[in-house]
Structure 1
Amino acid sequence: MKFIIYFLFLLIACASSYAQSNQAIVMKYDANGNRTNKKVITLSQTRSLSESQDEEIFENEFIGEKEIRVYPNPTKGQLQIKIIGTNANLPKTITLIGMNGTILIRKSASDNDYTLDLSPLSSGMYILSVQMEDMKKEFKIIKE
């Protein structure tokens, strides 16, 4: 498990030069840790969205049969986390990890809709980990 985390941080550190040039690398992995998809995306700094449009900008990710939506990404402060297809009382752990590997935020949540305030943090890339039961999903978060 530590190897996967170190490997992930190494990949993100290598990708930091892309983020500085308004590009990011998005990689997807299967349950065994094998990379299944790699995509370079260009981030736009000039877009302006209303709050109603922000809710529509997310990528569907799944833990088993449970859907997780994390939006908006990139974010300027408030990050929304919605979990669909699970009991609201199921305990969840939400962890935000900095690029140097330090845990910046760790919260226990029982609600399926959660808001994480990133406004006090500096601009950059972070790893968001959502864990429920024995399943975990990680997201690359960009704070503008």
Structure 2
Amino acid sequence: MLLSNPQGLKSARHDTAAGLRGEQQPQDNAALPQPVLNHVGTSTIKIYPNPTTGMLTVEVTGLEPAMQNTLVVYTVEGKEVFALSRLTGRDVVLLGAQPAGVYIMRISLGGVASEYKIIKE
């Protein structure tokens, strides 16, 4: 789903039955966490592990030097708890000090924003 806000920023929301964008396939009848994998334009976003105990890795391929990009994590109430003003291609998100619960990660790449549900155990 592509949304637009008053500032003209386009936003793609990625929700599935599991609340994640990407493939979540149980193996051997066990629900093993799989990385969230998403393609945004020429970039690929990979987020793992999800659920997490506090440290997430975010890998973005296809970043261009001039491309504006940001990553922000919010509580479901909208409070910002973590932010990166520039992604490097492989970044670590630290949520260890945050309580267990559901968080929203918003990644903006070149004016297109995507949101991901993050589970903190």
Structure 2 length as normaliser, TM-score? 0.72
Q: Which SS does the other structure have where 1:60 is aligned?
A: strand
Which structure has more relative contact order (CA 8 Å, sep 6+)? It is 2
- In the TM superposition, residue 91 of structure 1 has moved relative to its aligned partner by 3.7
- Indicate the residue corresponding to 1:120 in structure 2: 97
- The structure-2 alpha-carbon separation of the partners of 1:66 and 1:123, relative to structure 1 and needing over 3 Å to count, comes to same
Q: Which stretches in structure 1 are left out of the alignment for 5+ residues?
A: 1-29, 42-46
- Higher radius of gyration, 1 or 2: 1
Relative to total residues, which structure has the larger helix share, 1 or 2? 1
Distance 1:81 1:40 in 2: 19
Change (3 A) 1:88 1:81: farther
Q: 1:39 — aligned with what?
A: 17
* Kept after mapping to 2: 8 A contact 1:58/1:70: yes
CA contact (8 A) 1:61 1:67 kept: yes
Relative distance call for 1:75 and 1:84 in structure 2 (3 A) is: same
Offset, 1:123: 0.1
TM-score normalized with structure 1 length? 0.61
Q: How far apart in 1 are the matches of 2:12 and 2:62? A: 26
Question: Distance between the aligned counterparts of 1:35 and 1:132, measured in 2?
Answer: 14
RMSD of the TM alignment (CA)? Answer: 3.1
